[in-house]
Structure 1
Amino acid sequence: MNVPESEQWLTTTKGRIATDGYSWMQAVHWAYKYSGFTTLCSHGPQSVNESTLLVAWHLSQLDPCRPGIGYLIRRTRLSERTVQYHLGLLREIGLLVYRAKGTRVADEGGQASEFLLTIPPAFDEGVHARTGPSEQYIRALHGIDPAGMSLMKRLARMARRAVRRPVKRSAGRPVSAPRACTPMGVGCSTSSPTGTSTLPSESKLASGKHSSAASKKSPVAKTKRSLNAVGRRYQLANQLIIQVPWLARANTQRIAWIVRHVADAGWTAIEVMAVVGQEDVAQRVHRPSGFLAARLRGATELYNTPERRAAIVTWWQDSRRAEQGRHTEWDGQWQAPSSRAVARQVDTALSQLQAVTPPEDDHPGYEAGDDGLVDLQQLTRDEVIDLRAAAQKDPLLIRTTIAACGEHYARRLFSNRLVDQLLRLTGTGRLVLHGGLA
């Protein structure tokens, strides 16, 4: 159940991304009450406790989830070392993974690490959840078996309760932590740190209906304000920054100003992504805000009805499925590409892989098998290690091998782990393979 450091990254995690902070808090309470988790670290807290719940609650309110240690110290009133311990506990149990690790640059100042809220496989097994593959969230929740209904209802009630600070840190009475608000101070942010606002929480899947006791008893729920126009702009900007790879480092205020027209017209994030994705994106976007503004110029006049926007979303989703289908492994014999330029590149790669070099210094060359490919059993262990190290530095070597010799041959040569990391990184804008060479 303890997750090693090599699997505490988005590219290597075995968990699934939480669709919203409320569903994630259900998994946090499960780890607190029912998991029996114990850390392998010899110092600091050995299991999830109330301070871990407090830190997790503040993380669930952030969008995107990029908390600085100083921010968590101010909000939780815990010490710096204690905050670091509890972040490590959440990563070790599989509830947090790195999307980008922070930096400590003396001249430019450090940047906080960016996390994604994840749900470990042990939680799905404990609550009898049915999951399946998902194009956006690694795995998606499809339902809860009857055996796990009662447990999910208890976890839903726990997640709705206000998280209280530890007694030794409080001022004599329990204090509920405030919600994180939008940059303009117009209300509390309701957008998810890892998903869209249209996805249901897992409590609805568990019980089949939504009846919140907190909404009937708590006076805060009755006076909760909805987002105004400025808040909706910032909400749409945050969702785009999370879901569009080339907007990952864009300024939220600038993006909110650019999307003000489409936000005021009631556009959703997927509608904006469909309009922007009509044309291929450049290999490198120097000014994401300017690129987005150019793609959205005149969009409100062209797609001025919900029907037109729904049609462009359907077309965009179909094109993405077709693109994914072109990259899916097919059955049958490999056929040469129709493009002459691509055919020349494939021929060059094949000639390099299949060439039998003359013996030098009494070292024989590699013989090709019946399929025309070099038999991998002829390679020594040091040669395989060197090839995998080169592939980890340059993932293009794996892509070339898959195109020339097939995915099965590439997995035998470079290992399933490196090939799986490369396939999962496709389309995310990141091409860094983590881990050792074993």
Structure 2
Amino acid sequence: MSAVAAPAALTLPGPRPAADVAVLPDLFVPEACQWLSSTAGRVALEGYSWMQAVHWVAGSGLYKPRRYRSHGPRAFGPTTVLVAQELAQLFPCRPGIAYLVRRTRLSERTVEYHLQILREAGLLAWIVRGTRVSGGPAQASEFALMIPTAFDEALGIRTVQRDETAPAYTRAPCGIAEAGRELMAALAKKATRKVRKRLAKPSSKVTAKGAREGAAQDAVPAVSDEVRCTPMQVGSSAGSSAGVISFPPEEKLASGEAKSPTPKKFPKRAGGRRKQNKVGRRFQLARELVQELDWLRGCSVPRIAWVARGVADAGWTVTDVRAWLHLRGEVARVRRGSGLLAVLLAGAESVLDTPAKRSAAIEQWRGAQEAARRHRIEQVRARAERYDGDWTGPASYRVQQEVAAAVAKVREVANGGPGAGAADAWDLLPDTACAPAAEPGVKGLEDDVIAQARIEAGQRLMAGDTSLITLAVDAMGREEAEQLYGPALVRRGMQLAYGARSSLMTYGHR
């Protein structure tokens, strides 16, 4: 060996035996080192080489999730590889949870578990961590595909840092030991395969009849594609292990007269529907209560079903529950509907324990509903008679009392009571509202009093109050009212009074 070749030979590592993964330390990366800036691994150049590292970690057993937490997956298994092969196809690796759920057909929580496993095994590193902003869309995380240092040590892979100013994770492989070539070839074959999600296994509870039918179906030979016997493209063959089968003629099949030799059997159900069990009755009662009771709107049906489980199991209907709530009393303000229902229904099935008692409660509740309906009708009728008539009462409480007293006196005189014929009709009305007319003005009133009355009526008219003018017109007549308040003021007041009762004009305060 020459002097030039000797130093070069010293820089190359000599042959070493295959690394035993059993003596390697446990593979675990804490959360603080799961970022690209703090990771000890190197970035994979493409998804193919990264999948080799993924399969190596899966087969080595160096990382076991149950060593570091008590829940989640038990091992780095095929599901983790399934998630990893979806990540290997993304450049940049910026997957959303919804995207991985749609591609892998796994649950959202399962995808999150296996992403955490890949990070803790040193195969993924955060570049940007996703966030959730209130009122905005969720931001997906961006990952870097990493190859852990344990993989390079186990296979004897040599790396080199070509740019001294670049970070350590940018180092690239430059060789591999002879002992690791065979394992690398096996990992390359695994990296080219596609892992698919396993379908659910069929139930092991198979009856003997079903097994015999399956065996008979397997024993039937292949059907020839050359002969077709019906318009439904059902194949037929010359022989069959099931015996001779006679088929109806095609004219009967076309007309629909022929019946199938093996009619379908459907389970008999009462009324065409399956009978509800205990849980079904609870949920049905809960749904009806949420729909009919206003203070239960928005409550969770399963929670109401749990609250009303006692009366539902006792056979109560929604009418029985409403009758019982009427007996307990109405509420004006409800803060938590399910809690109030739980308090009101406490002991209900023990009080109304017979159908007769529940029927009596229902009759009492319906009687109260009818009484309330009649009361509302009377209120609406009284309101309509009050506001739809020609006369509008005064707004002042003092004037209302005087008008009521005058009307009572008029009725007393009209009915022949005490004081009949002793007083004139004008004397029975309030002095402040009206008085008989005189030649210069109104009888018994001076000019300053008339002027003050007109000023007060004008001020009220500006505020939209026409009670003084309308009361004077109703009590004294249009002519006497014009002598008291003036023709212009009376005309304006009557226009506003008529307009207030019209649906085409509204007025009021801003």
Q: State which structure, 1 or 2, has the greater radius of gyration over its C-alpha atoms.
A: 2
Q: TM-score, normalised by structure 2?
A: 0.32
**Looking at both structures, which has the greater relative contact order when contacts are Cα pairs under 8 Å and sequence separation is at least 6?**
1
Q: TM-score, normalised by structure 1?
A: 0.38
